[in-house]
Structure 1
Amino acid sequence: MVKKQLIMENALELFAKQGFESTSVQQITDKCGISKGAFYLSFKSKDELIIALIDQFMIQIVADIDYLVKSAETEQLLYEFYYSIYSSFQKHSDFAKLLIKEQSQLNKELFLKMQYYDKLMENSIISMIERLYGDRVEVIKYDLMYSIKGFMNMYSHLFVFFNILVDVNRLAESLVEKTNILAQHSTITFATNELLNILQPMNEEISEDQIIEMLDQKIEELDESIEKESLTLLKQQLIHPIYTTAIIKGLIENIRHHPQCKWITYSLRRYYRL
């Protein structure tokens, strides 16, 4: 196992038991069987380690939802959205529980990181609402977005805080019905675009140079594979564009399912507006 991943897995186990604040770097290194020097070769601080865990958790969810919203059949989109969200929460319930419990303990940098991912998720939800309901919900789409986020948060507590078996299929079907009722019958508006601009930070665009830097890092990390070859071609495309949109889509599809390429996939799809 790569040392960085070893540290992350053991740290997550300790954080789940003790919380972020009560877990020391020394405890993490003892559990991993490594020196502090080895830890600091991978992470500059405990906060950087926590950010890496948040990235690992949130990148997968945000990237998968973004792809789903843009590519799923409209008839099944809302169901697949809820099913994907709750399947992810169920699969990573330990870290989800930790984030919910520890939010009040996050420093400014960690809080801003969570806020950034929350904004990306809101963008995906708005895109989904526009695909599903079109102009019919233009006036209430932001209220509907907050309602969907409320469903996500409330019902996730069932398997985050209570050790019960949740029928994710039934839950998704139930929330599809509730969301459609709200979309069809809501008339009183509270949340507006102006209010969202006041409450939330501006959406951060990822530059071409940043994408190339990410590609370089992943190309170096990955063994020879179709994913590594596709990353190399995608980097060449950014530097000297020659491929058609269809080829670019195919290359991105080649890397989409690789767990280490989720963020690059998301960034490339945004960059090329796919």
Structure 2
Amino acid sequence: MIKKQLIMEKALELFAEQGFEATSVQQITERCGISKGAFYLSFKSKDELISALIDHFMMQFVSDIDYIVKKEGPTESLLYEFYYSTFDTFHKRSNFAKILIKEQMQSLNEELFLKMRDYDNKMEKSIQTMIERLYGEEIDDIKYDLILTIKALLNTYSQLFILFNIPSPDMELLCRSLVEKTNLLALNVSVPFITKDLYETLLRPLNEEISRDQLIELLHEKSVEIEEPVEKESLSLLAKNLEEPLYSTTIVKGLIENIRNHPHCKWVSYLLRQYYKI
């Protein structure tokens, strides 16, 4: 196992038991069976480790949701797939999700707040894409209220399962129930509170979008990092295409699809989809 991955896994166990603040670097290194020096070769501090864990969880989560809402084809089951993927992710990674929710409630860490707000912005954009596909221009007046309502449903039910330890939730029933609620709101609400101007003020980006050069550098880094030949070659070709466009949109989509399911490539596939607007 890669040392950085080992540290993240063992730290996650300790954070689940004790929380971020109560866990020391010494405890993490003892759980890993490594020296403090080895820890600091991978992470400059405990805060950097926490940041890496949040990124690892949220990058995969946001990337998966974005892929679902933009996937070509019929939209009859889109809303159900969206809800199911969201709750399935939180259920499978309930230990970290539980830590994250509790820490956000208790923490005054501005960096953590800004990081989570940035991922929140990305999630809201994916929800907007989904409801525009599902309901079209008919709900333009209530679109922004609906985005926040869907987020509220996700947050409320996620916390219900994670914080109150409801055993083996019936995911199918939950998702069908939320699909029904969402459709009722989308098709019947006529008095919105959140206007477009207010929403766009709240949603203003906290981080600049990644540049072409930064994306090329990231692709090269990932190409060196992973060993699987298909993903490695696809990353290399995608980097070359950014440097000098050669391929059609169809080929680019295919190359992105080649890397999408690799755990270390989910985020770069998300960034590429944003860059190419696909």
- Fold agreement, TM-score > 0.5: yes
Q: What is the match of residue 59 of structure 2?
A: 59
Of the candidates 260, 265, 269, which is equivalent to residue 265 of structure 1? Answer: 269
Q: Of 100, 109, 112, which residue of structure 1 is paired with 2:111?
A: 109
Quote the Cα distance in structure 1 between the aligned partners of 2:98 and 2:141: 34
- What is the match of residue 176 of structure 1? 179
What residue in structure 2 maps to residue 21 of structure 1?
Answer: 21
Aligned partners of 2:84 and 2:171 also within 8 Å = yes
- After TM superposition, the runs of 4+ consecutive aligned structure 1 residues lying more than 6 A away are none
Change in 2 beyond 3 A, CA 1:99/1:224 = closer
**How far is the alpha carbon of 1:79 from its aligned partner?**
0.5
Once residues 184 and 123 of structure 1 are traced to their aligned partners in structure 2, the CA distance between those partners, rounded to angstroms, is 21
**1:187 aligned partner:** 190
**1:7-156 matched pairs, under 5 angstroms:** 7-71=7-71, 73-103=74-104, 104-156=106-158
Whole-angstrom distance in 2 between the partners of 1:121 and 1:178: 20
Work out whether 1:223 is the aligned partner of 2:227: yes
CA contact (8 A) 2:118 2:205 kept: no
CA distance in 2, matches of 1:145, 1:192: 12
In structure 1, distance between residues paired with 2:209 and 2:141: 26
Calculate percent identity across the aligned residue pairs. Answer: 62
Q: C-alpha distance in 1, partners of 2:260/2:91? A: 22
Amino acid at match of 1:212: I
In the TM superposition, what whole-angstrom CA distance separates every residue of 1:212-238 from its partner, at most 9, and x where no partner exists? 121121111111410011101111111
**Which residue of the other structure, out of 224, 233, 236, is the alignment partner of 2:237?**
233
CA distance in 1, matches of 2:51, 2:92: 20
Per-residue displacement from partner, 1:174-219 (whole Å, max 9, x unpaired)? 0000000001110111111221233333263111111112112111
Contact 1:59–1:263 (CA under 8 A) maintained in structure 2: yes
For the 8 Å contact 1:158–1:166, the answer to whether it is kept is no
Aligned-residue RMSD, C-alpha: 1.2
Distance across 1 between alignment mates of 2:103 and 2:228: 39
Q: Which moved more, 1:191-200 or 1:97-106?
A: 191-200
Deviations 1:117-171 (A, max 9, x none): 0000000001111111111110111110111001101111232023311011111
Q: State the secondary structure of the residue aligned to 1:75.
A: coil
Partner of 1:199: 202
Matched residue count: 274
1:159 pairs with 158, 161, 169, which one? 161
- Equivalent residues of 2:144, 2:195 under 8 A apart: yes
* TM-score of the aligned structures, taking structure 1 as reference length: 0.97
**C-alpha distance in 2 between matches for 1:208 and 1:7:** 32
Work out the CA distance in 1 between the residues paired with 2:225 and 2:77. 36
* 2:77 alignment partner, SS class: helix
Amino acid at match of 1:194: D
- Aligned partners of 1:244 and 1:135: how far apart in 2? 30
Alignment gaps of 5+ in structure 2: none
Q: TM-score, normalised by structure 2?
A: 0.96
Preserved contact between residue 15 and residue 99 of structure 2 (Cα < 8 Å) = yes
Gaps of 5+ in 1: none
